[in-house]
Amino acid sequence: MLTTITEGILCCLTGKAASLVLPLESSEPSDGFEFVEVKPGRVLRVRHIIPERPMVTEEQVASKQKTDRNDDDVEGSPEEDNESNIGSSVHCKRKITVYRNGQLVIENLGDILHSEILQCQDGDLEPCSTVEVELADYKEMPSSPDPNSALPQVHSPLGEHKPAPPPRRRRRKPKRTVQIDSKRVISSCKGTHSDVALFFVHGVGGSLDIWGSQLDFFSRLGYDVIAPDLAGHGASTAPHIAAAYTFYALAEDLRAIFKRYSRKRNILIGHSYGVSFCTFLAHEYPDLVHKVVMINGGGPTALEPSLCSIFQLPSCVLHCLTPCLAWSFLKAGFARQGAKEKQLLKQGNAFNVSPFVLRAMMSGQYWPEGDEVYHAELTVPILLVHGMCDKFVPMDEDQRMAEILLFAFLKVIEEGSHMVMMECPDTVNTLLHEFFLWEPDMSRKDSSKTDTALTDSLHTLKINKPVDK
């Protein structure tokens, strides 16, 4: 503690941070670590594990193609056969209307949510629905006169009192209208599929090491896994300039990583602040992003840094407060604060960034485009994972996210907190794997049997109910 305070005083006197990022032990190439220069002088550490698959010769490929052509001639057209092998094609159609009084009305018009795919717990199909919520970015304004208010009295020439006619209700004019009408093919993603890649994105103060259990689990199943360190985190370079840690700068880094390692079908898994980057990539590359997992990501609101946060203090002051901040993170990020959790925090290299990087990351969370409408435009299937004991992200924020998103499942882990993937790795791995393998059954409308592993979480979707701010 005394050393930390001394270094903080020297930081104030010299105007330089004591250290940009704590060093990590060098990794052997066999561990799957790579260093990618996304920009000149901006290098990110990436762990890329490529599964071992049997080599396929050209003769085997030609023989397989010939067999497939023969099967197509017997069973049906190639287009129908390929579509049945790829997955189910679903119709994504919705109308998003934003009014000036702060209302957001989402009309689900297609068959994506409630006609052919999702079922209630009693097995009955839900009709197409409308979601109506209040935008957090607008002030509440009355859209129409109160019908219970007293009507003004009009005095006639004969002295008789007659009630005035009710005022005409003005027809609300929408401020913005978004139409979505597209088809999406959703299929099961197995580790044996060579066109599937998993991307893991950590949040503020973390590193790719927090995904250790997930990377080992899914790489053993044959998945191609990619996990980068954000700038200033883990073993990536830490530029000493605040502009290097804005949302847009980090998003462009991840765009470069995604374009470098992406396959035909990609699944994004984000935690906390990393969820925002997964949302950005899913919005930018709808044809490449197949599914998304959001772990304790919060509500679908635009990002804006808090001006009254402790992270707005000078870097030298934050350096002195590092032990207190680390203890607070341990207390709020884990459901329990025992020796096991402390060891997980150390092994995961979490909250192991310099005060300058921490301050710049928190101050750079400015993303006005990422509002409710931005999230409502996503048509990719999304799994929301929330730790019940999370003290950073309230439960109602993930519930609001489930209401806004077109195609979302919400799963709550009671024994988990903010770092649920480290606390409950087996539960999270099983849940993620079931979601990767999940494929909508379009024949369900003719059958009362439910064959999806995620149906037990559908009760968290609140449809046809307004959301209170």
What is this structure's pTM? 0.75
Q: What are phi and psi of 430, to 5 degrees?
A: -65, -45
Q: Is residue 276 pLDDT above 60, yes or no? A: yes
Query: What integer pLDDT is reported at residue 13 of this predicted model?
Result: 35
The answer to which of 27-31, 117-121, 261-265, 353-357 has the lowest mean pLDDT is 117-121
Q: Which residues are catalytic?
A: 272, 390, 418
Q: Is residue 15 pLDDT above 50, yes or no? A: no
Per residue in 102-121, is it b (16+ CB within 10 Å) or e — as a string?
bbbbbebbbbbbbbbbbbee
The two tokens of residue 427 are 């539960």
Report yes or no: 249 and 361 within 8 Å, Cβ to Cβ.
Answer: no
Q: Is residue 395 pLDDT above 90, yes or no? A: yes
* Residue 1's pLDDT band (cuts 50, 70, 90): very low
Helix (H) or strand (E) holding 333: helix 322-333
Average per-residue pLDDT for the chain: 75
Q: Is residue 437 pLDDT above 80, yes or no? A: yes
Percent of the chain at pLDDT > 90 equals 47
Q: Is residue 378 pLDDT above 50, yes or no? A: yes
d(CA 348, CA 56): 37
The answer to which of 44-58, 69-83, 440-454 has the lowest mean pLDDT is 69-83
Query: Position of tokens 């048509």?
Result: 379
d(CA 388, CA 200): 22
Query: What integer pLDDT is reported at residue 346 of this predicted model?
Result: 74
The answer to which of 106-120, 172-186, 371-385, 428-442 has the lowest mean pLDDT is 106-120
Query: What integer pLDDT is reported at residue 75 of this predicted model?
Result: 43
d(CA 428, CA 213): 10
Q: Is residue 130 pLDDT above 70, yes or no? A: no
Query: What integer pLDDT is reported at residue 326 of this predicted model?
Result: 66
d(CA 199, CA 257): 9
The pLDDT tens digits for 193-219 are 999 999 999 999 899 999 999 999 999
Mean pLDDT, residues 449-465? 38
The answer to which of 34-38, 67-71, 162-166, 268-272 has the lowest mean pLDDT is 67-71
